[in-house]
């Protein structure tokens, strides 16, 4: 069972409404499912949309934000909890400690960096928490092809590739991460 999930997402809304709509739907679904949302703590981009949707649906939302971002006035001030930390390293470590799973929405370099770090941690055996990617309109298909290529070229084991769970529907992705399919992908319980 997943009691808390860390969602990595963008400080920008992306193009069109599809990414914002997906963030709102995921936030609402997490709240309605009783799953605590832990995220980057900002009020901008898909991060803000995700948090606002979860809050509006009565969910618990915990933000973790570095001091520098607070000084730039991007911190979300209406959260259940807001933790201000020294830097990005402390942010990621704190978020990871307090969740049962990770989900990456479409985003930029920061989203990928956070995703890759928790993926690497899983490969090193530092955690056994499932990792999902919400693949809106094929956003993550180039990454999926790249991970296949990494396996083909001998830089990644197939089970490490398969630790990333891709889905186009947030509710279904959360169910998959909570179920045995995600645990089987990790090769451990």
Q: What is the CATH number of the domain that holds 98?
A: 3.40.50.450
Q: Residue 189: inside a domain, yes or no? A: no
122, 125, 128, 134 alpha-carbon torsion, rounded to 10°? 0
Structure tokens at 49: 């949309």
Neighbour tally for 145: CB within 10 Å: 10
pLDDT greater than 70 at residue 117: yes
pLDDT digits (tens, 9 = 90+) for 44-79: 999 999 999 999 999 999 999 999 989 888 899 999
Whether residue 183 is contained in a domain is answered as no
Integer CA distances (angstroms), 30 to 7, 38, 108, in order: 10, 11, 23
98, 127 Cβ separation under 8 angstroms: no
Instruction: Give me the pLDDT at residue 71, please.
Output: 84
User: Does residue 128 fall inside a structural domain?
Assistant: yes
Within a domain: residue 131? yes
Residue 15 falls within a domain, yes or no? yes
Please state the pTM of the whole predicted model.
0.93
Contact call for residues 93 and 6 (beta carbons, < 8 A): no
Q: What percent of the chain has pLDDT over 70?
A: 95
What pLDDT, on a 0 to 100 scale, did the predictor assign at position 3? Answer: 97
pLDDT of residue 180: 52
39 strand-pairing partners: 63
58 within some domain = yes
- The answer to the question of residue 110 being in a domain is yes
Q: Which domain holds residue 53?
A: 4-177
Asked if 140 and 106 count as a contact pair (C-beta separation under 8 A), the reply is yes
The answer to whether residue 55 sits within a structural domain is yes
What is the number of domains present in the chain? 1
């Amino acid at each position: 069972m997943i009691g808390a999930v860390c969602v990595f997402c963008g400080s920008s809304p992306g193009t069109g409404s599809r990414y914002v709509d997906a963030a709102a739907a995921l936030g609402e679904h997490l709240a309605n499912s009783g799953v605590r949302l832990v995220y980057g703590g900002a009020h901008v981009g898909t991060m803000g949309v995700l948090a606002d949707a979860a809050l509006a649906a009565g969910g618990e939302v915990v933000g973790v934000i570095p001091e520098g971002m607070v000084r730039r006035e991007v911190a979300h001030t209406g959260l259940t909890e807001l933790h201000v930390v020294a830097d990005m390293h402390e942010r990621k470590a704190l978020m990871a400690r307090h969740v049962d799973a990770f989900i990456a929405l479409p985003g930029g370099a920061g989203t990928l960096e956070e995703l890759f770090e928790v993926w690497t941690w899983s490969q090193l055996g530092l955690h056994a928490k499932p990792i999902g990617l919400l693949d809106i309109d094929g956003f993550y298909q180039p990454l999926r092809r790249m991970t296949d290529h990494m396996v083909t070229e001998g830089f990644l084991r197939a089970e490490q590739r398969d630790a990333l769970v891709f889905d186009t529907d947030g509710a279904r992705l959360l169910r998959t991460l909570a179920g045995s399919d995600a645990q089987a992908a990790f090769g451990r319980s």
